[in-house]
Structure 1
C-alpha cells in the first residue's frame, strides 16, 4: 500500500469513507489537527481508525478527501519550487472494490516538514 514519490510523499492510508461531501485537501502539521480529522471520520465507524504516529518535528500530513460521487482514489503528485509546494491531482487509480462500496474516499500522505505554503492544482 505504501508508495513513495521522488519528493518524499508517502501514501500511508487509502480508505473508502471519510464522511466529506465535497472534495477537499488538508495539510496537517500537528497532532491536534490530525486527531480532529480522525474524530470526524470515526464518527460513523465502530471501531474507529487509529491515527498514525507522525513525528511532526520532521513530517507533515496531506489528506485528500473525495466527494460523495468519487469512484476512485486520487493519484497525487507533489512538486516544489522556491515559494511553495504544489500538489496536482492526476488520473485516478482504479480500485478492486465495487463502486457502490466507495463513498467519499480519502487518502493520507506523509511528507517532509516544510514551511512553504501548499497550492492545489486540479
Structure 2
C-alpha cells in the first residue's frame, strides 16, 4: 500500500472509505474535492488494470490524517486505522482531511477493522 496524497479538505462531513477501480470513479472524486479549489488538484496516474485506489476521508472533527495498514487474507482486504498521537493543542481550523493510497488490484472485498 503506497500513500499518494494527504490533504486537509475533502468536503466530506463524515468518515468514509472509498475503493476506486476505474478512472471515471477517480475523476468523479477529484471533481467533488476540486469544487472549492482554484486551481484544483490533478488526479494521479493509475494503471487500473493492475492497481486500485483507496481513499480515506475524515469527518470534520478529525484533525490528523489516517495512518492505515493493510492486512490481506483469503477473503478480504482488511484496513485498520492506527491510533495516532494527537497534540494537546486543539486547532480551531475546520478541516476534513483525506488520504489517497494505491493498492494492487484485487477482487477481494474491503473490510474496515475497528
Per the TM superposition, whether the score is higher than 0.5 is: yes
Q: Who is 1:74 aligned against?
A: 66
Partner Cα separation in structure 2 for residue 54 and residue 61 of structure 1: 8
1:14 aligns with 2:10: no
Q: Who is 1:45 aligned against?
A: 37
Partner Cα separation in structure 2 for residue 42 and residue 109 of structure 1: 18
Cα distance change, pair 83–74 in 1 and its aligned pair in 2 (3 A):
same
When the two chains are superposed, the root-mean-square deviation of aligned CA atoms in Å is: 1.6
Partner Cα separation in structure 2 for residue 93 and residue 10 of structure 1: 21
Q: Deviations over 1:29-78 (max 9, x none)?
A: 00000000000000000000000000000100000000011010111010
> How many matched pairs?
112
Matches within 5 A, 1:1-122: 9-92=1-84, 99-101=91-93, 103-122=95-114
Return the offset for 1:101: 4.1
Instruction: Output the TM-score relative to the length of structure 1.
Output: 0.87
Q: Deviations over 1:71-113 (max 9, x none)?
A: 1011101000001100001113669xx8334600000000000
Q: Who is 1:4 aligned against?
A: none
Instruction: Output the TM-score relative to the length of structure 2.
Output: 0.92
Structure 2: gaps of 5 or more residues:
none
